[in-house]
Amino acid sequence: MLKSLTPITLAAVLAMAAPLAAQEAASDATEAQDSTEQNAQTEQGEQSGSTADNLLDLGQPVEDGPKLGQRYSKETHGDWELACVKTEGETDPCSLLQILTGPEGNPIAEVSLFRIEQEGGQAVAGATVIVPLETLLPAALTISVDGAPAKRYNYSFCNPMGCVAQIGLTQGDIDAFKKGQKAVLSLRPAPAPDQVVEMDLSLKGFTAGYNVVDVVKQ
């Protein structure tokens, strides 16, 4: 059982506590001084760090993979790319793509092809062909496979990217692409309508790419 403190006992305790309080006060003062110095050092370090942050490149997180809406290459089949567009969906839409280059290796046109779900129509595949601006539109676009008679396709429209022909391909066209070595796309430039510009479209890897490209419902 605890005893109750009497005034004398309390006074004795206070007397005994006085030196301890003085020690604690001194200790508190020392700690306060140390804390002040530490805080000053911390603030100085933070200021120094802030100055360093202004002078040094801290880097940016690197995002892996394509960004939303960006086109990327999923697979390669010979000279064709299975090019897909990043979407928020579980699967990204893909087309069979080949970039056509000029004599100096600069890209001048592209062919993007996809299969079509047949519903009684003649076209089993479709392609978007983009050629340079200042193309003579009335002359149309012609495509020939391995020297066979060419087919003529009209242009649909032009935009800042180039002039676009949206063409349909029959089963016979696709069979020719599968068996062929190269197709030749021909156009006439508007500034020089008497000239013909020919661009080679490689058919290497076409069959493998065509077998895996998306089927689009019409």
- Is residue 65 situated within a structural domain? no
Residues 84 and 17 placed together within one structural domain of the fold: no
Question: Residue written as tokens 């006085």?
Answer: 18
How far, in Å, CA of 164 to CA of 71, rounded? Answer: 18
Cα Rg of the chain (Å, integer) = 39
In a domain, 64, yes or no: no
Say if residue 133 is in the same domain as residue 168.
yes
- For 147-198, write each residue's pLDDT tens digit: 999 999 999 999 998 999 999 999 999 999 999 999 999 999 999 999 999 9
DSSP state string for 65-118: SPPTT-EEEEEEETTEEEEEE--SSSS--EEEEEEEE-TTS-EEEEEEEEEE--
Contact 84, 209 (CB under 8 A): no
Domain for residue 63, yes or no? no
Classify residue 60: in a domain, yes or no.
Answer: no
> Does 67 have pLDDT greater than 50?
yes
What sign for the dihedral angle of Cα 31, 33, 35, 41? negative
CATH label of the domain that carries residue 106:
2.60.40.1880
| pLDDT of 13 above 60 | no
CA distance 188 to 136: 5
Task: Assign 145 to helix, strand or coil.
Answer: strand
Q: 99 is in which domain, residue-wise?
A: 71-216
User: Higher model confidence: residue 133 or residue 103?
Assistant: 133
Q: Note whether residue 167 is domain-resident.
A: yes
Q: Check: CB of residue 121 under 8 Å from CB of residue 218.
A: yes
The verdict on residue 17 lying in a domain is yes
Answer positive or negative: Cα dihedral of 79, 75, 91, 84: negative
**CB contact set of 206 (below 8 Å; sequence gap of 6+):** 77, 78, 80, 96, 177, 178
Domain membership flag for residue 181: yes
In the chain, the number of structural domains is: 2
Mean pLDDT, to the nearest integer, of 193-206? 95
Tell me: do 108 and 180 sit in the same domain: yes
